[in-house]
Structure 1
Amino acid sequence: MAKTTLTTSGGAPVPSNNTSETAGPRGPVLMQDYQLLEKLAHQNRERIPERTVHAKGWGLQGKFTVTKDITKYTCAKLFSKVGNSCEVLSRWSTVAGEQGAADAERDVRGFSLKFYTEDGNWDMVGNNTPVFFVRDAYKFPDFIHTQKRHPKTNLRSPEAMFDFWAAQPECVHQVTILMSDRGIPVNPAHMNGYGSHTYSMWNAQGERVWVKFHFKTQQGHKHYTNAEAETLIGKTRESYQEDLVNMIETGNHPKWTFYIQVMPEKDAETAGFNPFDLTKVWPHGDYPLIEVGELEMNQVPENYWSHVENAAYSPSNKVPGIGYSPDKMLQARVFSYADAHRYRLGTHYEALPANAPKSDVHHYHKDGSMRFFPPQTGHVDAYYEPNQYAEAAVADPSVAEPPLAISGDADRYVQEDADADYVQPRALYAEVMDQGERDRLHHNMAAAMGPCSESVTERWLAVLKRVHPDYEAGVRRALKEAGDVNAVPVTDETPQHANEPAK
């Protein structure tokens, strides 16, 4: 079988890919060797800015299938009947680490899914935890600064992390989960995914409900201890990528069951907690999980760069039948995610293969950097709107979202109940975790706090005490043991299938 002919990027055959063109066997290289210049110039441009957060990631392609009828809650076409399916592109990631970071570090994991539906792309952009560190995007840049490197030392700073967390007690719910058994999943297949934010859905009658998205792993929860992760990282920094590739190659396709929690629109006004607060979960006893479908990831993308590195997820990608809520972090992410992609990938990032919808696309965006596709307005003369051309794209009022009923005076509101940030972490610590999980939490947190100053340590311990006195006492005891060379080591064994610490 004849081999494919190597060509230039312009399509011309290349005579040699081994040696430069020179003036004689020992002469200087000639400027006319354009293919040499092209290879060198392209190499200089092979990298783009890495993501500010979620820089290190892994992804697979797969399929989502609807298994249960939820048309009473949403008119989204994807969920219009049982058996409907669509292609999906996933990307999982660590939050703080750079592209060269080790996969098995203690960190929150991003859990993002791009559903290529018949009505356009729906992006479920979440994490492997049901809550987050802060509830207001005003503090998000400050929080991320604490997760990145100190401007002078260029080192990670536990002092900055715990100093910030101590000043923002709303963080304690997420920090407790992060320092628990769940902090280092064995790989993405063995962790849950959550939309985390509160979203909304509306049905064909225009009735709105508030919803939470849950993707429950069918593989069971598995996690590494600090010691196990340290040993693994000494052997490989790419353990997640290796596991995912091996799973697909052996036919062991990871699966998740998709559920929603549903809250009637009026319940938001009387709930005993703020249902739009990203640091809070909805009690499953009040708002039980409702099965929707199954996610199966079954293919390694042919090119990592084009389908994982260039994948651009944003809550701004939604379809009729799925909407937003007054969640302050969600409202800010609708802008910031798409804006990050415009900076990192370019003006027309949504036309890249990973991001292009499978459905028809019609819009009036014009020109700009890397405009590599024809006009998509429906008519060659229609580069503005309104216009006289019958074939040109126009808005469809029938897909309009029903108006949000919530309103209020414009102001910078703060948490009404000072104790509200401690209620759910208290239940997680005292009621959900068993004693073994609490002990490991104490020692994981003490290990992370080791380099902190006394003042920051005491401020954070004061936060833990407000959650539960045993929490503060356990971490204080673990800190003392860590600093005492004569202390008896604490057994650090994690069960293969740990109980879920937060619903």
Structure 2
Amino acid sequence: MSTNHSNSNKLTTSWGAPVGDNQNSITAGHRGPTLIQDVHLLEKLAHFNRERVPERVVHAKGAGAHGYFEVTNDMSKYTKAKLFHDKGKRTDLFIRFSTVAGELGSADTVRDPRGFAVKFYTEEGNYDIVGNNTPIFFIRDAIKFPDFIHTQKRDPRTHLKNPNAVWDFWSLSPESLHQVTYLMGDRGIPATLRHMHGFGSHTFKWVNEQGEAVWIKYHFKTDQGVKNLDPDLAAKLAGENPDYHIQDLQQAIEAGDYPSWTLYVQIMPLEDANTYRFDPFDVTKTWSQKDYPLIEVGKMVLDRNPENYFAEVEQATFSPGNLVPGVEPSPDKMLQGRLFAYADAHRYRVGANHNQLPINRPKVPVNNYQRDGYMNSGTNGGGSVYYEPNSFNGPKEDPHARITPFEVEGYAGQTAYDHDDHYTQAGDLYRLMSEEEKARLIRTIVEAMKPVELEEIKLRQISHFYKADPDYGTRVAEGLGLTVQA
């Protein structure tokens, strides 16, 4: 087979067509939503989901527990989602905590974000909040996710972790700076899974019975208080007890020391999204709590360990697309991609009928026209009608569950968010730190960047630190023996 060397450096799809833009997905206007016609985005996400067999591509290692959510503040004024109605109401749930980059056998105490995925078994079907222990993320468009995770995984030639890839990608993706600062700080290694916050991270829409909508963000605040691990102790534990976090959670619950979190939301009026100083759908940014204070919703308590790790923790499947009436997506480009990618990963990893497994099965009747597929453990619809519309009294749609109409505008194209200030919030986070925290942050970054071979990558990343705060950039440069590049 001949090779056209003149095109050897051009990015193409798997069918050989050139890719015109690999940084921005196709959206309706700057905010979106994302268009399903972006076949390059779909191919990247679908192929990425199928790169590992059979463990999860990301969040492979985790711990899980059962519990309940209790409403402490009736939120029916804002959402028709019944799990948030009626003070004192309880809803059963299952949670899975996880590291992101490591494999099933990796250590719990590495510096990494932690997955924070909650499945509520509600009276209207399962509702999943699939977030992290950070309120932000490294990137803000799903089209960059496979590339980002590749940098966190093993080099295909050496099968070793590759600091060159990590810092090259981050330095070429300045939107990552806020999360990098968070990750390299003290909260990058939680002391236990019980001593960290959780966040929905994305912006979502709440809609009430009157059809009135608001934008919201979820915050799970640990009632145990935030505690973090010293990096030297974390490294020691990684060698002595790589399952430290799993063990701690299991033993705490077994002893009756049930961990809990208080759930809060920030609420933003719809119209504020057009005037707020940061794009509220950009997942690399936070909303100021001075502008949109935390409002208490309820309490999450974990009080029962799994009986079987594989059946429950490994086979649990979460998707931000598992929504209930009263909760809808926002135009967040990372969220829009995840609505497809997570469920698609489960269809590949666990099977098309993953929601029939006990850990994922809703506690309400399931009525649809899906049939057959691997490992179909239900009645497969029995002898009932198997298509819709039909004249035989089969299940019909519920108008109550329709989404609220929303306006889209602009030309469809591959465009970034309008706001490109990647430095203010990262700098604010740095300036919030005590001098001791700053010193630890700088030391962690310097040690992580020392193995990077290309000076160009180091200087490019230092310039981002400097733009966030001159002191930040100067101290990293000095630690690496380089001259700061403003």
Normalising by the smaller structure, the TM-score range is 0.7 to 0.9
- The equivalent residue for 2:149 is 144
Partner secondary structure for residue 229 of structure 2 = coil
CA shift, 1:417, in A, is: 4.1
CA shift, 1:226, in A, is: 1.3
* Closer, same or farther: CA 380–71 of 1 in aligned 2, 3 Å: same
Does the CA-based 8 Å contact 2:279-2:419 persist in structure 1?
no
Query: CA–CA distance in 1 between the matches of 2:407 and 2:86?
Result: 29
2:416 aligned to 414, 419, 422, which one?
414
Partner secondary structure for residue 282 of structure 1 = coil
2:241 aligned to 211, 226, 236, which one?
236
**Higher Rg:** 1
- The equivalent residue for 1:426 is 427
Instruction: Establish whether residue 436 from structure 1 lines up as the match of residue 436 from structure 2.
Output: yes
Does the CA-based 8 Å contact 1:48-1:345 persist in structure 2?
no
Does the CA-based 8 Å contact 2:91-2:122 persist in structure 1?
yes
Query: CA–CA distance in 1 between the matches of 2:87 and 2:402?
Result: 24
1:286 aligned to 264, 275, 291, which one?
291
Query: CA–CA distance in 2 between the matches of 1:417 and 1:248?
Result: 44
Query: CA–CA distance in 1 between the matches of 2:282 and 2:384?
Result: 47
- The equivalent residue for 1:52 is 57
2:397 aligned to 385, 395, 398, which one?
395
- The equivalent residue for 1:477 is 478
Partner secondary structure for residue 307 of structure 1 = helix
Query: CA–CA distance in 2 between the matches of 1:331 and 1:414?
Result: 14
Query: CA–CA distance in 1 between the matches of 2:61 and 2:383?
Result: 41
- The equivalent residue for 1:450 is 450
Query: CA–CA distance in 2 between the matches of 1:456 and 1:82?
Result: 53
- The equivalent residue for 1:268 is 273
> Which consecutive unaligned segments of at least 5 residues does structure 1 have?
1-46, 482-503
Count matched residues: 430
Instruction: Establish whether residue 298 from structure 1 lines up as the match of residue 300 from structure 2.
Output: no
Query: CA–CA distance in 1 between the matches of 2:418 and 2:370?
Result: 43
Residues 152-301 of structure 1 mapped to structure 2, 5 A cutoff = 152-301=157-306
Partner secondary structure for residue 421 of structure 1 = coil
- The equivalent residue for 1:75 is 80
Instruction: Establish whether residue 322 from structure 1 lines up as the match of residue 362 from structure 2.
Output: no
Query: CA–CA distance in 1 between the matches of 2:377 and 2:435?
Result: 59
- The equivalent residue for 2:318 is 313
Query: CA–CA distance in 2 between the matches of 1:331 and 1:249?
Result: 38
Does the CA-based 8 Å contact 1:68-1:293 persist in structure 2?
yes
Partner secondary structure for residue 267 of structure 2 = strand
CA shift, 1:212, in A, is: 0.3
Does the CA-based 8 Å contact 2:202-2:217 persist in structure 1?
yes
Q: Greater shift after overlay, 233-242 or 170-179? A: 233-242
Deviation string, structure 1 residues 360-391 (Cα, Å, up to 9, x no partner): 11111011111121134xx733111112223x
Partner secondary structure for residue 59 of structure 1 = strand
1:91 aligned to 96, 115, 131, which one?
96
Partner secondary structure for residue 330 of structure 2 = coil
Instruction: Establish whether residue 404 from structure 1 lines up as the match of residue 409 from structure 2.
Output: no
Deviation string, structure 1 residues 211-256 (Cα, Å, up to 9, x no partner): 0011000001111121111111221110011101110121111100
- The equivalent residue for 2:372 is 367
Does the CA-based 8 Å contact 1:442-1:475 persist in structure 2?
yes
CA-based RMSD of the aligned residues comes to 1.4
Does the CA-based 8 Å contact 1:63-1:88 persist in structure 2?
yes
TM-score with structure 1 setting the length: 0.84
Give 1:468's aligned amino acid.
D
Does the CA-based 8 Å contact 2:138-2:180 persist in structure 1?
yes
Query: CA–CA distance in 2 between the matches of 1:381 and 1:308?
Result: 33
Give 1:77's aligned amino acid.
K
Give 1:386's aligned amino acid.
P
Give 1:380's aligned amino acid.
G
CA shift, 1:474, in A, is: 1.7
Give 1:212's aligned amino acid.
K
Partner secondary structure for residue 102 of structure 2 = coil
Deviation string, structure 1 residues 97-121 (Cα, Å, up to 9, x no partner): 0111000000010000000000000
Give 1:462's aligned amino acid.
S
Query: CA–CA distance in 2 between the matches of 1:408 and 1:188?
Result: 44
Query: CA–CA distance in 1 between the matches of 2:127 and 2:235?
Result: 37
Give 2:208's aligned amino acid.
N
Structure of greater relative contact order (alpha carbons < 8 Å, 6+ residues apart): 2
Instruction: Establish whether residue 357 from structure 1 lines up as the match of residue 362 from structure 2.
Output: yes
Query: CA–CA distance in 1 between the matches of 2:127 and 2:406?
Result: 21
Query: CA–CA distance in 1 between the matches of 2:419 and 2:339?
Result: 27
Instruction: Establish whether residue 386 from structure 1 lines up as the match of residue 389 from structure 2.
Output: yes
* Closer, same or farther: CA 69–231 of 1 in aligned 2, 3 Å: same
Query: CA–CA distance in 2 between the matches of 1:355 and 1:302?
Result: 15
Deviation string, structure 1 residues 145-191 (Cα, Å, up to 9, x no partner): 00001111110011101000000000000000000000000111100
CA shift, 1:83, in A, is: 1.3
Does the CA-based 8 Å contact 2:83-2:89 persist in structure 1?
yes
Query: CA–CA distance in 1 between the matches of 2:281 and 2:425?
Result: 15
Query: CA–CA distance in 2 between the matches of 1:354 and 1:404?
Result: 34
Query: CA–CA distance in 1 between the matches of 2:249 and 2:74?
Result: 31
Residues 479-498 of structure 1 mapped to structure 2, 5 A cutoff = 479-480=480-481
> Which consecutive unaligned segments of at least 5 residues does structure 2 have?
1-51
Deviation string, structure 1 residues 300-328 (Cα, Å, up to 9, x no partner): 11111011000000011010001100000
Give 2:406's aligned amino acid.
L
Query: CA–CA distance in 2 between the matches of 1:191 and 1:407?
Result: 39
Deviation string, structure 1 residues 332-356 (Cα, Å, up to 9, x no partner): 1000000000000011011111110
Does the CA-based 8 Å contact 1:134-1:279 persist in structure 2?
yes
CA shift, 1:480, in A, is: 4.3
Does the CA-based 8 Å contact 1:103-1:239 persist in structure 2?
yes
Does the CA-based 8 Å contact 1:364-1:384 persist in structure 2?
yes
Does the CA-based 8 Å contact 1:443-1:479 persist in structure 2?
no
CA shift, 1:192, in A, is: 0.5
Deviation string, structure 1 residues 38-72 (Cα, Å, up to 9, x no partner): xxxxxxxxx96010100011110101000101111
Query: CA–CA distance in 2 between the matches of 1:480 and 1:56?
Result: 37
